[in-house]
Amino acid sequence: TRTPVNVTVTGAAGQIGYALLFRIASGHLLGADVPVKLRLLEIPQAVKAAEGTAMELDDCAFPLLRGIEITDDAEVAFDGTNVALLVGARPRAKGMERGDLLEANGGIFKPQGKAINDRAADDVRVLVVGNPANTNALIAQAAAPDVPAERFTAMTRLDHNRAISQLAKKTGSAVSDIRKLTIWGNHSATQYPDIFHAEVAGKNAAETVSDEQWLADEFIPTVAKRGAAIIDARGASSAASAANAALDHVFTWVNGTPEGDWTSMGIPSDGSYGVPEGLISSFPVTCAGGAYEIVQGLEINDFSRGRIDSSVKELSEERDAVRGLGLL
């Protein structure tokens, strides 16, 4: 029998946490044959709510769930952790400036990065979901110099999945027919969902659609502003779909991308495609053997170039801002 994998979830009492934990415990994070131990990190005021969720997890009698520990101490939460899902973050309050938001999140992600550095297992993999996800991941990574930088990733899989779904609708195809879609840049409104290399049932997606106006005026804004549309409709931000994307991200990272396809992950840039080295930006990646690799050699047309550059510019500005705050 396998040793359980330690999975830490921060912000466990939040709405994404609630949508995420039951699926982790039922085998959707790593696989149906991998037992897990959960560590839930919350702020002191939310520990009781997390305990309530843990009671419900107990009541599911999940065969793969080998234990739940709840704490408000990051050192305890990340002790021996193999997979860390950093979901808890400071939301933007009304009237809050971007600098204040970055600073408040620095207060969360810097100590968590340090605790991961000091306590996590050697094979730790980190996914940052809490916004601003890319820059929060950068802050955590900078606080963890002993952990290989590439273990810190940010979630753009929800954007990737949203784009697949929109493209399938437009082309009247099944989502399983869509391949090689890419989200570039920041998980924000500047992100660029790229269909120029994507395929619909084996045919080039951009040629199949052949409608640049749809691309520029509908597809890209629909994907980039989907979060706001969900809030408008549901009265609350994306939760189950965000949790689902977090599961997809880690599952793919650990278990690999299918032959002939790739996925999108926010990862530290190695300078590929003109993205400054070190920025945590979304790229097309393939995964195998528990590691990811940027898909190389894609031709970037002028349309794509401008959009990638403007999202990357935003990431550079965020990096400069957190550097100015002494967070890097």
8 is a contact residue toward ligand NAX (CB under 6 A): no
- Selected from 7, 13, 25, 215, the binder of ligand NAX by CB under 6 A is 13
Residue 9 corresponds to which tokens in the numbers above? Answer: 């979830």
Distance CA 201, CA 203 (A): 6
237 is a contact residue toward ligand NAX (CB under 6 A): yes
What letters, b where the CB count within 10 A reaches 16 and e where it falls short, cover 212-237?
eeebeeebbebbbebbeebeeeeeee
What is the smallest separation between the CB atom of 81 and ligand NAX, expressed in angstroms? 14
Q: Has 301 been labeled as part of a binding site?
A: no
* Cis geometry, peptide bond prior to residue 258 (ω within 30 degrees of 0): no
Footprint of ligand NAX on 171-210 (CB under 6 A): 187
Taking contact as CB under 6 A, which single stretch among the options 13-21, 96-104, 167-175, 310-318 is the one that binds ligand NAX?
13-21
Residue 15 burial (C-beta neighbours within 10 Å; 0-12, 13-18, 19+): middle
What is the smallest separation between the CB atom of 52 and ligand NAX, expressed in angstroms? 12
What is the smallest separation between the CB atom of 43 and ligand NAX, expressed in angstroms? 5
Q: Is residue 249 annotated as a catalytic residue, yes or no?
A: no
Q: What share of the chain is helix, strand, coil (3-state, %, to 5)?
A: 45, 20, 35
Taking contact as CB under 6 A, which single stretch among the options 84-92, 142-150, 268-276, 278-286 is the one that binds ligand NAX?
84-92
The count of other CB atoms within 10 Å of the CB of residue 41 is: 31
Distance CA 131, CA 116 (A): 19
Residue nearest to ligand NAX (CB): 14
Residue 121 burial (C-beta neighbours within 10 Å; 0-12, 13-18, 19+): middle
Taking contact as CB under 6 A, which single stretch among the options 86-94, 174-182, 205-213, 294-302 is the one that binds ligand NAX?
86-94
Q: Has 12 been labeled as part of a binding site?
A: yes
Residue 216 corresponds to which tokens in the numbers above? Answer: 């520029």
Nearer to ligand NAX, 238 or 304 (CB): 238
What x/- string results for residues 117 through 146 when contact with ligand NAX is judged by CB under 6 A? ------------xxx-x-------------
What is the smallest separation between the CB atom of 283 and ligand NAX, expressed in angstroms? 15
- Selected from 5, 36, 65, 87, the binder of ligand NAX by CB under 6 A is 87
248 is a contact residue toward ligand NAX (CB under 6 A): no
Distance CA 2, CA 75 (A): 25
Distance of CA 167 to the CA centre of its chain: 21
Nearer to ligand NAX, 108 or 285 (CB): 108
The count of other CB atoms within 10 Å of the CB of residue 148 is: 12
Distance CA 201, CA 64 (A): 36
14 is a contact residue toward ligand NAX (CB under 6 A): yes
| Distance (Å) of CA 31 to CA 87, 121, 311 | 21, 20, 34
Of 63, 84, 60, 62, the C-alpha closest to 12 is 84
Q: Has 98 been labeled as part of a binding site?
A: yes
- Selected from 41, 120, 139, 315, the binder of ligand NAX by CB under 6 A is 41
- Selected from 127, 158, 167, 295, the binder of ligand NAX by CB under 6 A is 158
Annotated binding site: 11-17, 92, 98, 105, 112, 129-131, 162
Looking at the annotation, which residues are catalytic? Answer: 187
Residues that bind ligand NAX (CB under 6 A): 10-11, 13-17, 41-43, 46, 87-89, 91, 108, 129-131, 133, 155, 158, 187, 227, 237-239, 242
